[in-house]
Amino acid sequence: MKHGKQILLILLSAVILSCTERIDIETGEGYERLIVDGAITTDKKAHTIVLSATSDYFSNKPVPMVTGATVSISDGGVTYYLKESSPGIYQTDPHVFGRVGHTYTLKIKLATPIGGHSDYTASSKIQPSTTLDSINLKFFPDYSEKGLWEIRGFIQNSPDIDFYRFLVFRNEEMVTDTLNEWYVTDSRFYYRSYINGAIVAFLHQHRPGEALTTGDRVMIEMDIISKEYANFIWDAQTEMRGSYPLFSGPPANVKGNINNGAIGFFAAYSISRATALVPERVP
């Protein structure tokens, strides 16, 4: 009897293993959509809007840039027309700057429709601003692989401000140069009218792009951003880093503020900066 069961199991295994068939899934080409990335800030400079388009998932080609569009930014009183400085890169004149309290509308008219649309718009308001008074740096030799620099900011916190974004520069070069590295926080997290040395960034000494030496100049840029932009950044970071638990829902396009199904975000925000020199580390 036992021997018969063993033979039956072997036969069943053979049948299961033999019942396999190659299945080729036709993915087809995805629905093409416009991608928009850009902002207007309180800095006086050439502000940039980047236009590109989605491509097939398995395409090995660079992202197609969208050329020949008419692009403008307006606060309802003044309209700035952007020039295409290179394929898909549209810029204002270098003297343009945004004003606190003003709502800015981005308008895009494409030379050739994408996703069935030629006209796209988005609006964003520059929130009430405040000043990053100063920053300081402290080194912790026992943290991380070769030590860690902690950067703290001193800020006049305002009940009218919702969200902060902090970017890090080392000797004029941006360290947090990808969205995945941006630090965004709710201002209410601090619960005080004056933020007296809150942690705004960490720099790991074992990472070449973050390592500091005595005399280096560290700058923190503080941006006052909207709730919608903060949520856009957080959602994008979640998609880039992966979701938990393991069997959570599939990735999805992050919701931006561009109409007609475009992907991306047009932001407007005020900027404040503070710098500090890296001190000599105590052994």
* Strands in 187-239 per DSSP E: 194-204, 217-225
pLDDT digits (tens, 9 = 90+) for 156-197: 877 777 899 999 999 999 999 899 999 999 877 666 677 888
pLDDT tens per residue, range 137-149: 999 998 888 899 9
Mind giving me the DSSP string for 39-55?
Answer: EEESS-S--EEEEEE--
Per-domain residue ranges of the chain: 34-125, 132-245+269-277
User: pLDDT tens, 66-83?
Assistant: 999 999 999 999 999 999
3-class secondary structure, 8: helix
Where do runs of H (alpha helix) occur along 19-169? none
Pick the CATH number of 132-245+269-277 from 1.20.1070, 3.30.460, 2.60.40, 3.10.20: 2.60.40
Whether the link from the prior residue into 128 is cis, omega within 30° of 0, is: no
Share of the chain residues as helix, strand and coil, in percent rounded to the nearest 5:
15, 40, 45
- In this predicted structure, which of 30-34, 200-204, 279-283 has the lowest mean pLDDT? 279-283
pLDDT class of 228 with cuts at 50, 70, 90: very high
Query: Is the pLDDT assigned to residue 25 strictly greater than 50?
Result: no
The fraction of the chain above a pLDDT of 90, given in percent, is 61
pLDDT average, residue stretch 203-213: 91
- Under 8 Å CB-to-CB from 185, ≥6 apart: which residues? 163, 164, 166
CA pair distance 52, 16, nearest whole angstrom: 48
Write down the residue that tokens 């560290």 correspond to. Answer: 218
Query: Among candidates 232, 220, 235, 237, which has minimal Cα distance to 266?
Result: 232
pLDDT digits (tens, 9 = 90+) for 98-138: 999 999 999 999 999 999 999 999 999 999 888 999 999 99
180 CB-near residues (< 8 Å, 6+ apart): 237, 240, 241
34-125 has which fold? Immunoglobulin-like (2.60.40)
> Mean of the pLDDT values across residues 209-214?
91
Mean pLDDT value of segment 35-45: 97
Q: What is the pTM of this model?
A: 0.82
